[in-house]
Structure 1
Amino acid sequence: MGFWETSGFNYHTFADLPERKLIVLINAMTREDIIEWLIWNDPNGIYHDEHSLKELGNILTRSEGIEILLRQIEENRVT
């Protein structure tokens, strides 16, 4: 079972967490968990390995996924 099935968080509540808690949880996530959230948040993005290889010639690494995830959350926060 992945992060989303065991953590008790859904995509929305996860994105609304304070930054410190968010970082702790992200560190517990796998690359696949991160990609799952990215696909939910940005369905037009290129995150699936097959699409990424075809369009970009490589796959999204875990660290790249974390960077994108954090940026998307920050961009969507209301100040």
Structure 2
Amino acid sequence: MSTFINEEEKLKHPFYKLMELRDNALESELNSWSRLDLIEWLCWNDRNGVYRDDESLHEFGNIVSKEEAIEIITRQITKA
């Protein structure tokens, strides 16, 4: 079974669509997402990252705020 996703499917998935945005469009879209949705995107995009509350509390003693999640996502998308 193939786990690859074709271009048409990518354009329909919000996680992939987000990666196509830049500047104000990206900022606006990220601000419309809930903190939990942002965390889900981070976990999806970076499977080795520590973003979930329980993991983050254990590793760093705090949780990822919405603002921090937006900063990380913006950096991951624009630097990719």
Relative to the length of structure 2, the TM-score reads 0.79
Aligned-residue identity in percent: 42
Q: Which has the larger radius of gyration?
A: 2
Aligned partner of 1:22 among 23, 26, 29: 26
Aligned partner of 1:40 among 31, 40, 44: 44
Residue 19 (structure 1) shift = 2.2
**Which aligned segments of 4 or more residues in structure 1 are displaced greater than 4 angstroms?**
none
Relative to the length of structure 1, the TM-score reads 0.79
How far, CA to CA, are the matches of 2:48 and 2:27 in structure 1? 25
User: What amino acid maps onto 1:71 in structure 2?
Assistant: R
Residues 55-66 of structure 1 aligned to structure 2 (within 5 Å): 55-66=59-70
User: What amino acid maps onto 2:31 in structure 1?
Assistant: N
In structure 2, runs of 5+ residues without a counterpart are: 1-11
